Structure 1
Amino acid sequence: MKPIRLSAWQFHLMTQVYVIGTAFILLPGPIISSAKQYGWVVVLWATLYGLVLAFGYLYLAKLYPGKTLVEIALQAFGKWVGGFISLLYIIFFIQIASWVTRELGDFMHINLMPRTPISFFHIMILLVSAYAVSKGIESIALVNELLVPYLYLAFWVPIVIMLREWNWRYFHVSYPFQLSDVIIQTRFVLAFPFMETVAFLMFIPFVQGKVKIPFITGIAFSGLMLTGCVFISIGVLGVYRGQKLVYPIFSIFREMRFTGFIEHLEAILAVNIVLVVCIKLCILFYCAVSGVCQLFKIEKRNIVIYPMVWIISAYSLLFMNIVELLDWVKNYLFEYYSLFAVAFPALFIVAAKWRTTGRLMKKNGSA
């Protein structure tokens, strides 16, 4: 396979779109339900947590220069244990990709085409993603770079105009607020989407130039955007209504009217959602395929890509509906993601330090 090259700017934009992904349509409702009018503060401290993780991943990449996450696991723990951990990461990427697929499928089934079987949406988006992955991560990065200006303009211009419906009184409604309870109930925000950035350890070795600033600023900027989404949802819809909606931002777009004949602007947001989620799915799909190829020494990606479509599609039907999926996310996602986003990377760092210390002791002993 030819060498992969990503520019720092492409990596930065990929980080932004990946973190924003499905979070900007799914997170506002559960966050407002748990933290009421202080939901935007929850996203801010989750962003700080995401930045701490990002510095940890950059340090890990520095300890294993030129190695992807799968290769790091193999080098840290050897062929068998490292191979098993690598396989777990591949399954992890497949799981996230399947959840992203299901989230997009549910969104389109509920809001756009309720009579169309949800499996149709899954196969359709996965085949498009499979084609993109077959062309390589550089092609995905170029398409993402082309789409980002449109995505931001088409989202923020209508949102700014909708601010005429803003009501500051929504932030002064009296709701019971216990800090410890809110931290426990909103721990899922730390996992989704910030712990998912561990996937970028599959791309850091291929970035040309400095990777630290693009990665950190990408997470910070997307965190601020998610904060803005929650803040705007509260200010326009209110706490009582916002916490009862599955897609608060989509509801805001649906109710927009600029003139007597310009309405139903939710179609613009629907296009945005499909594009953003598709890019995130392509990144995760590529991570899973690349991980399999690296672990099992497979030269041709296409051998893995198209069977992966059916695996992800089948796994996406694990949950009955979006409510069941969100309930699982709120109750169990943080603990599950902690294994892959915190525990394993910490073990890799310890293994690198231990190996370096042993090498120095051996060198000093022989001297």
Structure 2
Amino acid sequence: MAGFYIVVTKPVNTTLIAATRAGKGQKYIEPMIDIWMRQKNQPNIIATDPKGELLRKNAFALAIQGYEVKSVNTLNPQYSTAYNIYSYALMAADRGNSEMTARILTGIGDVLFAAEGDNAFWYGSASKLVNLCAEAIIDYALEDARRLRLDPTLSYTMKESKVDDVFGEVSAANVVHILNQLYAATITYEKDHELLELAGYKEDTQALWVFLSLIGKLPMTTLRTNISSDFAFLQAQAGSEKMMSSILTIALQNMSFFREEAITKVTSGNPSKTLDFVGLGFPRRFSMWFDDHLIDLNVLSPAKTVMQVYRDKELTQPYFDEGIKDGKPYEDYSNYTHIGEFEKGWIHGAIRGKLDQDTSYIKLSINNTRGRL
């Protein structure tokens, strides 16, 4: 092929546009995958492959080169890795970070209900409604998890296994299920007037509105407070029962995608089994939680933390020495520690380098800004 090579060492974004069957895959995409898999420092490869051609041609070779191949496969869901879109929001809520939970759910809603102009209000409101249902399911899962973790008859391993199963129920398919089931039901004042009055209604009301209103009557947590305030705002914004019903209809229409059997299988799964995109960047991550009592005593808050990994229990042989090797900074040194403030009692660390021992040791240093540690 006539022409010349351009060598660029910095990260670049490349767009390749060509007609169908023009050779995009054979002449560019597949050779690039082959180059990447043979590199000394192999990058993560994320490919959109609707026909499954790249997977069929390259999966075996990638595995031979040391890659762990994952496929979100709607063509053959039985061979697919699950990707639960709500897993990160759930994990943030489990750590007590309601702000991060809301931020993640808002991002999901912006993707599922993208609209501009005249439709912005309707789609934005429908997105809020779906997020409220997702938060309600997350709240239920957290309550169940709290009960399991306090069960003295269960071992730690059994507790976390059961919690993982409970968290697996938080899925887009179940959000749609709640919308469908409660959309079709009405709570009548004649039969359930006490329930309706507790929820703040004095006439027959759609079950979904009663459900969301009653969350505000439970013992308050930050998540439940957010649900109650967001639902009140949505009701005030809509202004009438007819508009609320229209918003609910739009929510159901946009989320109906998740009712398809193949999509349900691919987007449902326990946190331990769902595809972890964060883990692609930092597959070795650590999290530690400190009791609220220490936080309340201001012993650990505000504080800065540093994690470092050692080969020996005496903590004299760090995995990654700080400094220069062969005139260049250690590639695996960066990001082996995490410096940050406590997040509701949680601190997190991440390691890019690989640990080549069966047993390694983590040193956690805490520096209280008040000088008490």
Task: Please indicate the TM-score interval, normalised by the length of the shorter structure.
Answer: under 0.3
Higher fraction of strand: 2
Q: TM-score, normalization: structure 1?
A: 0.28
Q: TM-score, normalization: structure 2?
A: 0.27
Higher fraction of helix: 1
Structure with bigger RCO (C-alpha 8 Å, 6+ apart): 1
